[in-house]
Chains A and B, each alone.
Chain A
Amino acid sequence: MIAYLIRRLLYAIPILIGVNLLTFSLFFVVNTADDMARMQLGMKRVTPEAIEKWKQQHGYDKPLLFNASAEGASKISDTIFFQKSAKMFVFDFGSSNDGRNIAREIQTRMMPSLAIALPTFLIGLLIYITFALLMTFFRATALDMLGVSLCVVLMSISGLFYIIGGQFVASKLWHWVPISGYAGGFDSIKFVLLPVLIGVMGSVGASSRWYRTIFLEEIGKDYVRTARAKGLSELRVLFHHVLKNAMIPILTAVVVVIPLLFMGSLLTESFFSIPGLGSYTIDAIKAQDFGVVRAMVFLGSMLYIAGLVLTDISYTIVDPRVRLK
């Protein structure tokens, strides 16, 4: 187990380097450091000296990937790519273009993101699985047909409809909750309510249908027949036996996203102007703040890899037959 974990972590390093290289080239293939400086300083009244000074201040005055004028190992290390990326492996994200510390910014913005993402995830999971189990319970009846049709219709509706409609009905017509924004502490509940509801609503169709397929696959197996033959009620069969045995495919899909919850949902946060990590990233992309985007991409892929490892570990918990080697 320990050896397995160490191997997985070592395997993560080349992936993270690749991710970094990709973001890096995405930014610098079409842009030069000069363009970035000009953009940050504003298009007008930019003197070459000002650009040089900005580049020097922010550390963009080096060659991109390969420094031919340097000696030995610093041929590679004395470049923008190395200087900016290597530090991220020890969680030093540097500062954004407006001079703020990115790591501190991430810390303060994590809470609002989690406040939205965590309830959406948990409530969603509960509702989808319950709904799917109910459909499985009533399988091959009119109720099941109705449920599946409802799911198909729900998954065909654009997520924008839920957002625009939800904001309109809940905030404008009924004045339940504010349209957008965020506040700390207990006040946050009224701001969080609508995004969570819409987030759950947005994928109820696709998810429930998917869980239903999984449960239906399980229900044809022999142990289910045995359980029924023992005289267990259908509900008990479903919730105790089928649910437990369907855990592997469910965990495969679910555990990967748990670490990513920290990243927040880019779209929901920008629609509801919640000061979380998602809207932070979107703003940074719009302002072409390379430092922030790179940090967020790095964080995102690191969490994704962590999610993959967690998935493997969770298998060993639900299924004792699985051994990690």
Chain B
Amino acid sequence: MPVILWTDAMIFLLLATVISAVLWVRKRPHLVLPWQRLAKSSMGMVSLLILSLFVLVGLLDTMHYREALPEKSNGQTVYSAEVLSVFDALAKDIKNRNEKTYSAPLAAYLYAKESIETPDGKIRRDYPRLRYGGAHLVDPQSELLGDVLKRTMIGALEGLSIAILLIVAGNWLIFFVKLRTARTSAGQEIRKSNNLIFTFARLIKNKPSRALLITALLMAILLGITVNLAAVYHVLGTDKVGQDVLYLALKSIRTGLVIGTVTTLVMLPFALLLGIAAGYLRGWVDDVIQYLYTVLSSIPSVLLIAAAVLMMQVYIEMHPEWFETAAARADLRLLFLCLILGVTSWTGLCRLLRGETLKLREMEYIQAAQAFGVSSPRILTRHIVPNVMHIVLIAVVMDFSSLVLAEAVLSYVGVGVDPSTMSFGTLINSARLEMGREPMVWWTLTAAFGFMLVLVLSANLFADAVRDAFDPRLNRTEAAA
């Protein structure tokens, strides 16, 4: 039975918006121009590639369902109370292979000593073998290193060859599509240019595509190694209750993405509507809206978020009957966190939009439109909104990374997502006391911070590339040409 949680619905809505926006922009050359500029930036394309991998994991993790239980009650199918996602199904192996407690990355033995009964009936204190990690080895002490190296090599080769095959196949596909659509004389040209060496030469000659190619190959190698090792080991170790840290970290990605994008989705209409209304209508509307955002921004945002989240928590606890599953409850809290983060963060964008609209409405073309008797709604939709869209886009991508970081801090303090929701914040929160152990349990924190760094860093680099491509204040020589 498919389950659509609130945040799932929001993500699907966002996806639909993005797809329709792409279709809309494609037909308009002047809107395509900045995107072409973006496509020329190596940094932007590489970070986009890495981000899209994160988005893929997040999307797979967004398609939720509940499994049907084998037994039926009065002919009706009974569904399990656990909400799973497609990602869970794909990663079933690493999800279900739970150890007893901590184990280091790629280890074959448990972190803690236990009493083990030897075959001859004696009891010995030693590190027991893991149930799954390296279980195929007979004598891990001597075989582990060799096995890990072997699997790394195989994984790297597999990843590399699959990636190359995919790239070649993709090129052929593009070639055939081009051939079908091209006129006969151009077809000759295309046919000539399409051999393997030519394709790669073209890819390598062009700077952004060379960077993309290298990144894609590196990513493929890394993926190949991870998949190969994860089949028999815990690549990033296990946590206190024996769950695989790699799985937890991958699950956290969705939460980060939801916080980063859904927050924007909910605050955008308010910021856009109020900001433009204030700037265009001025007078008392402007006063009211300015009053509104001054009030909101004069409350320290952490305080507002903490107070709102704690109130929400009380409210949810008072109404347990609303939620069919624990996942639905945790999800509502996540959505609420997005809402409240949206409330505290729309003021900045609103102020920017107001200022820009104030400037735009004095421009000659708007005054000309007014003189011709074009109605205000039409001026707003035809002239003002398209001309502030670049600010919106830049603000959205710039906000993303700070929201992901904010989630971690809020969850760490205890006013973030539900403790049962896997997120970078809850992961760090559960691992913070492990640094004091002897020997140190470093892998959970490393995994959480590492994943977060890669996500936020690529988001930041992408945001920079977007700003460079869209900001009209930057002087560009090629735009004039």
Stretch at the interface among B119-127, B207-215, B348-356, B450-458: B450-458
Give, as a whole number of angstroms, the nearest-CB distance from A181 to chain B: 16
Instruction: Assess whether B457 is in contact with A288, with CB atoms less than 8 Å apart.
Output: no
Give, as a whole number of angstroms, the nearest-CB distance from B280 to chain A: 23
Instruction: Assess whether B307 is in contact with A30, with CB atoms less than 8 Å apart.
Output: no
| CB-contact partner of B299 in A19, A155, A285, under 8 A | A19
Stretch at the interface among A21-29, A64-72, A88-96, A222-230: A21-29
Least CB separation from A278: chain B residue: B302
Stretch at the interface among B48-56, B93-101, B408-416: B408-416
Give, as a whole number of angstroms, the nearest-CB distance from B256 to chain A: 11
Instruction: Assess whether A156 is in contact with B295, with CB atoms less than 8 Å apart.
Output: no
With A and B bound together, what is the CA distance between A23 and B436 in angstroms? 39
- Most chain A CB neighbours (cut-off 10 Å) among B294, B428, B449, B452: B294
Question: B291 at the A/B interface (Cβ < 8 Å)?
Answer: yes
| CB-contact partner of B300 in A18, A26, A266, under 8 A | A266
- Most chain B CB neighbours (cut-off 10 Å) among A18, A30, A156, A270: A156
Question: B19 at the A/B interface (Cβ < 8 Å)?
Answer: no
Instruction: Assess whether B306 is in contact with A15, with CB atoms less than 8 Å apart.
Output: no
Instruction: Assess whether B298 is in contact with A301, with CB atoms less than 8 Å apart.
Output: yes
Least CB separation from B454: chain A residue: A156
Give, as a whole number of angstroms, the nearest-CB distance from A73 to chain B: 25
Which residues of A are found within 8 Å of B131, using beta-carbon distances? Answer: none
Give, as a whole number of angstroms, the nearest-CB distance from A255 to chain B: 15
Instruction: Assess whether B307 is in contact with A164, with CB atoms less than 8 Å apart.
Output: no
Stretch at the interface among B82-90, B190-198, B261-269, B311-319: B311-319
Instruction: Assess whether A14 is in contact with B449, with CB atoms less than 8 Å apart.
Output: no
Give, as a whole number of angstroms, the nearest-CB distance from B327 to chain A: 23
Q: By the criterion of a CB under 8 Å from any partner CB, how many residues of chain B are at the interface? A: 42
Question: B150 at the A/B interface (Cβ < 8 Å)?
Answer: no
Question: B68 at the A/B interface (Cβ < 8 Å)?
Answer: no
Instruction: Assess whether A297 is in contact with B299, with CB atoms less than 8 Å apart.
Output: yes
With A and B bound together, what is the CA distance between A157 and B445 in angstroms? 13
Give, as a whole number of angstroms, the nearest-CB distance from B459 to chain A: 8
Question: B432 at the A/B interface (Cβ < 8 Å)?
Answer: yes
Give, as a whole number of angstroms, the nearest-CB distance from B107 to chain A: 22
Which residues of A are found within 8 Å of B461, using beta-carbon distances? Answer: 152
Give, as a whole number of angstroms, the nearest-CB distance from A282 to chain B: 7
Give, as a whole number of angstroms, the nearest-CB distance from B60 to chain A: 24
Give, as a whole number of angstroms, the nearest-CB distance from B301 to chain A: 10
Task: Give the secondary structure class of B's interface.
Answer: helix
With A and B bound together, what is the CA distance between A153 and B415 in angstroms? 27
Contacts of A260-318 to chain B: CB distance below 8 A: 260, 263, 266-267, 270, 281-282, 285-286, 288, 293, 296-297, 300-301, 304-305
Instruction: Assess whether A157 is in contact with B453, with CB atoms less than 8 Å apart.
Output: yes
Give, as a whole number of angstroms, the nearest-CB distance from A106 to chain B: 15
Question: B435 at the A/B interface (Cβ < 8 Å)?
Answer: yes
In this complex, the interface size class of chain A, counting residues with CB under 8 Å from chain B, is 35 or more
With A and B bound together, what is the CA distance between A23 and B461 in angstroms? 38
Question: A7 at the A/B interface (Cβ < 8 Å)?
Answer: no
Instruction: Assess whether A267 is in contact with B302, with CB atoms less than 8 Å apart.
Output: yes
Which residues of B are found within 8 Å of A260, using beta-carbon distances? Answer: 300
With A and B bound together, what is the CA distance between A61 and B303 in angstroms? 27
| CB-contact partner of A263 in B300, B307, B311, under 8 A | B300
Instruction: Assess whether B457 is in contact with A161, with CB atoms less than 8 Å apart.
Output: no
Known contacts A172-B435, A260-B300; is A160 also within 8 Å of B311 by CB? no
The interface bits of chain B over 418-457 (1 if a CB of A lies within 8 angstroms of the residue's CB, else 0) are 0000001100100010011000000001000100110011
Question: A188 at the A/B interface (Cβ < 8 Å)?
Answer: no
Which residues of A are found within 8 Å of B456, using beta-carbon distances? Answer: 156-158
Instruction: Assess whether B295 is in contact with A152, with CB atoms less than 8 Å apart.
Output: no
Which residues of B are found within 8 Å of A293, using beta-carbon distances? Answer: 303, 307
Contacts of A121-177 to chain B: CB distance below 8 A: 152-153, 155-161, 164, 168, 172
Closest 7 CB pairs of A and B: A301-B298, A18-B295, A156-B457, A304-B298, A156-B456, A30-B315, A300-B300
The chain A residues found within 8 Å of chain B, CB to CB, are: 14-15, 18-19, 22-23, 26-27, 29-31, 35, 152-153, 155-161, 164, 168, 172, 260, 263, 266-267, 270, 281-282, 285-286, 288, 293, 296-297, 300-301, 304-305
Instruction: List 18 interface pairs A-B (beta carbons < 8 Å), by A numbering.
Output: A14-B291, A18-B295, A22-B299, A152-B464, A157-B449, A157-B456, A158-B409, A158-B428, A160-B408, A160-B412, A160-B425, A168-B435, A172-B435, A266-B303, A281-B303, A293-B307, A301-B295, A304-B297
Q: A27-B311, A156-B460, A297-B300 are in contact. List 8 more A-B contacts (CB 8 A).
A: A22-B295, A29-B311, A30-B311, A160-B449, A263-B300, A267-B413, A285-B303, A300-B298
